[in-house]
């Protein structure tokens, strides 16, 4: 591992602006120019970044979603960092150049660096948006930004990498064992490199969303979450409930989330009505048991405010948990001083109990899945 060369002090004016979720992604030429500027700054900080590394960084960004900060950072780091001693310098330089921060503290960007300052402010605005409770959204622009973020989240989950590797014609890592076998056909000369890369694994999910009156402020956003998963993954069964259970998988096959939600709210007779979670789960376990097996994750989205039979809820939750691989419950009221009686009855059977009141909480769930 080599030691880093002496470095100059980074200034806020070094920022280049980060491509973020709430603004159009920079054109290829603009982004390439920013990446080259970032590489120059890394060299000034002592990292041995060659022109070949710079070119590789540009190529790497074509393979990821540049609107996703973590994917963007890791793609650059994989190409431009050569060893452990360079990690700290890379991370600090990344924060300064792409986010307009110095260390952990955000600095004011010089007035002349208008584009960089705007990018920094917009990224901060999105962080505020992500932590805002769904019940507080009234502006249509904010709603549209959240919908776009939910779609991105679903797409990412849809293409998560499996641990098992599969043969690939190109890319991935070299399969030494298979390469050696192939070499026997050429007298021991490795003329063909065999490669393997992670398979794309589809997640099997059953989503059950509460659309009762107490969930009015959240159900439409959570249904967008459900819609995004079903459109991206395919292997998803979707249900809603209030006082009764309704299968809504077919509604989400339409092209528009707004159309799907409007049709559901019109056709589901108990929309924005009472809540009988136990009876609804009983109907699910009786009529749709074939949708759940030991490889299925079941996700319930509800505040747990039940007006029905709590003993029935306890029995049906236990049955569902025995058949599913994992049972997750998202509750918009997570963290409140008192849990409803229904939630208390269901909680012993839940593997993961988490909030579901804002975009940040849904992002955490997506990472857990």
Separation CA 99–CA 106 (nearest Å): 8
Q: What is the pLDDT of residue 191?
A: 60
- Residue pair 210/272 in contact (Cβ under 8 Å)? The answer is no
- d(CA 145, CA 173) in angstroms, rounded, equals 37
**Domains of the chain with CATH codes:** 12-130 (no CATH), 162-200 (no CATH), 205-368 (3.40.50.410)
- 168, burial (CB in 10 Å: exposed 0-12, middle 13-18, buried 19+): middle
Give 223: exposed, middle or buried? Use CB within 10 Å, 0-12, 13-18, 19+: buried
Count CB atoms within 10 A of the CB of residue 175: 18
Tens of pLDDT along the chain (369 residues) come to 334 444 555 544 444 444 433 333 345 677 888 888 899 889 888 888 888 888 888 888 887 777 778 888 888 988 898 888 888 889 888 888 887 644 333 343 333 337 444 544 444 455 667 788 888 876 777 777 777 777 677 666 555 544 556 777 666 666 777 777 776 776 666 667 777 776 655 568 899 999 999 998 888 888 888 887 787 776 789 999 999 999 999 998 876 778 888 899 889 988 989 999 999 999 999 999 999 998 899 999 999 999 899 999 999 999 999 999 999 999 999 877 678 889 999 999 999 999 988 888 887 777 676
User: Which residue from 309, 262, 261 is spatially nearest to 281, judged by alpha carbons?
Assistant: 309
Exposure letters 335-367 (e unless 16+ CB within 10 A, then b): eeeebbebbebbeebbeebebbbbbebbbebbe
pLDDT at 186: 67
Give the SS3 label for residue 366: helix
Which of 148, 146, 139, 138 is CA-nearest to residue 217?
138
CA distance 25 to 65: 10
Residue holding tokens 């019940």?
Answer: 135
Query: How would you class 43 by CB atoms within 10 Å of its CB: exposed for 0-12, middle for 13-18, buried for 19 or more?
Result: middle
């Amino acid at each position: 591992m080599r030691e880093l060369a002496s470095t100059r002090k980074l200034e806020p004016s070094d920022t280049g602006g980060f491509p973020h979720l709430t603004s159009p992604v920079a054109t290829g030429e603009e982004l390439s120019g920013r990446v080259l500027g970032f590489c120059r700054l890394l060299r000034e900080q002592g990292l041995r970044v060659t022109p070949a590394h710079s070119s590789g960084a540009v190529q790497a960004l074509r393979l990821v979603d540049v609107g996703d900060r973590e994917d963007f950072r890791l793609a650059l780091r994989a190409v431009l960092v050569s060893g452990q001693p360079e990690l700290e310098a890379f991370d600090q330089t990344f924060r300064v150049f792409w986010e307009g921060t110095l260390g952990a503290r955000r600095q004011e960007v010089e007035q002349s660096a208008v584009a960089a300052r705007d990018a920094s402010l917009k990224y901060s605005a999105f962080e505020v948006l992500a932590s805002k409770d769904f019940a507080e959204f009234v502006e249509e622009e904010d709603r549209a930004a959240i919908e776009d973020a939910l779609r991105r989240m679903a797409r990412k989950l849809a293409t998560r990498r499996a641990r098992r590797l599969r043969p690939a014609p190109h890319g991935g890592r070299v399969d030494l064992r298979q390469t050696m076998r192939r070499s026997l056909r050429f007298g021991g000369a490795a003329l063909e490199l065999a490669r393997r890369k992670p398979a794309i694994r589809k997640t099997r999910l059953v989503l059950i969303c509460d659309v009762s009156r107490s969930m009015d402020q959240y159900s439409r956003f959570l249904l967008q979450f459900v819609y995004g998963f079903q459109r991206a993954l395919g292997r998803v069964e979707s249900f809603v409930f209030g006082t009764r259970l309704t299968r809504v998988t077919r509604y989400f096959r339409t092209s528009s989330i707004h159309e799907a939600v409007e049709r559901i709210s019109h056709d589901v007779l108990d929309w924005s009505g009472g809540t009988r979670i136990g009876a609804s789960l009983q109907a699910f376990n009786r009529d749709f048991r074939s949708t759940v097996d030991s490889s299925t994750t079941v996700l319930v989205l509800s505040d747990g405010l039940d007006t029905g039979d709590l003993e029935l809820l306890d029995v049906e939750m236990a049955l569902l948990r025995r058949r599913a691989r994992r049972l997750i419950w998202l509750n918009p009221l997570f963290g409140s001083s008192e849990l409803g009686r229904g939630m208390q009855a269901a909680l012993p059977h839940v593997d993961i109990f988490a909030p579901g009141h804002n975009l940040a909480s849904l992002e955490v769930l997506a990472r857990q899945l």
